[in-house]
């Protein structure tokens, strides 16, 4: 079974896939940094992970049985989410599945941007984690500030909105909700399995 982790951010999703026995694993991201991290982990642990850089909006290399990611669609604005879904469907076999999460919590179409207090808390947590692990604190502090200053989410309201986004591209095979601690605040996500139409 060919599986792609699309937009990995770090090595956790590929690691979880490996833990459940997925052998034929590819990993892609628009950003090289998480791919370097995954290559480092793969070399250290002798995992056979194939990594490649790509922008989902210009197409995905290969055809897969399963594409999986976490909080990926949430990052794209409302005009772009359907283009992303269409590109993902194009890279799936006819009976392929897209397994993902998407943030819940409609703000009348307004994006969610962490407020100043949330940004300060995020940076404080990153610095504290770096300090405990002996990682250079100044570098982490700057990286955390840069990351959180750019973080924007575009959540959806309900299952109906998801159905409209998927219309003609995917069927919703399973959907449930989960509350997570989130990067800045407690956040509700839909956990979804989509099947290609
Ligand atoms: C929100 S993160 C993925 C979720 C991650 N598990 C997390 O919670 O941080 C989004 C990932 O998608 C990648 N990404 C953003 N835009 C992309 C695009 N157009 N094509 C491919 N990957 C993209 C980012 O570089 C990042 O690694």
Residues 134 and 174 in one domain: no
End-to-end CA distance of the chain: 20
Averaged pLDDT score across all residues of the chain: 96
Q: Measured from the CA of 8, which atom of ligand 1 is nearest?
A: 27
Model confidence band, residue 185 (pLDDT cutoffs 50, 70, 90): confident
Are 67 and 99 in contact by the 8 Å Cβ rule? The answer is: yes
* Structural domain includes residue 110: no
Q: How far is CA 83 from CA 6, 13, 26, 58, 99, in A?
A: 15, 23, 22, 10, 17
Q: Is the CB of 57 under 6 A from ligand 1?
A: yes
Range of the domain at 67: 2-105+155-196
User: What was the pLDDT predicted at 183?
Assistant: 80
DSSP E strands in 7-157: the ranges are: 24-29, 49-53, 64-68, 92-103
* Total count of domains within the chain: 2
Residues 162 and 144 in one domain: no
Mean per-residue pLDDT, 107-111? 93
Q: Is the CB of 14 under 6 A from ligand 1?
A: no
Q: Is the CB of 31 under 6 A from ligand 1?
A: yes
Q: Tell me: pLDDT of 168 over 80.
A: yes
């Amino acid at each position: 079974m060919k599986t792609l982790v699309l937009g990995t951010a770090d090595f956790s999703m590929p690691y979880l896939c490996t833990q459940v026995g997925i052998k034929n694993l590819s990993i892609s991201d628009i950003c090289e940094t998480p791919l370097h991290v995954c290559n480092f982990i793969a070399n250290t642990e002798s995992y056979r992970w194939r990594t490649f850089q790509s922008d989902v909006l210009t197409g995905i290399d290969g055809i897969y049985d399963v594409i999986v990611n976490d909080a990926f669609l949430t990052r794209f604005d409302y005009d772009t989410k359907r283009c992303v879904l269409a590109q993902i469907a194009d890279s799936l076999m006819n009976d392929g599945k897209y397994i993902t999460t998407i943030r819940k919590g409609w703000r009348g179409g307004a994006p969610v941007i962490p407020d100043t207090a949330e940004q300060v808390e995020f940076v404080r947590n990153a610095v504290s984690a770096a300090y405990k692990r002996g990682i250079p604190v100044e570098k982490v502090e700057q990286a955390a500030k840069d990351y959180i200053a750019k973080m924007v989410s575009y959540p959806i309201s309900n299952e109906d909105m998801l159905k409209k986004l998927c219309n003609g591209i995917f069927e919703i095979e399973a959907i449930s909700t989960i509350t997570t601690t989130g990067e800045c605040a407690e956040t509700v996500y839909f956990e979804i399995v989509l099947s290609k139409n």
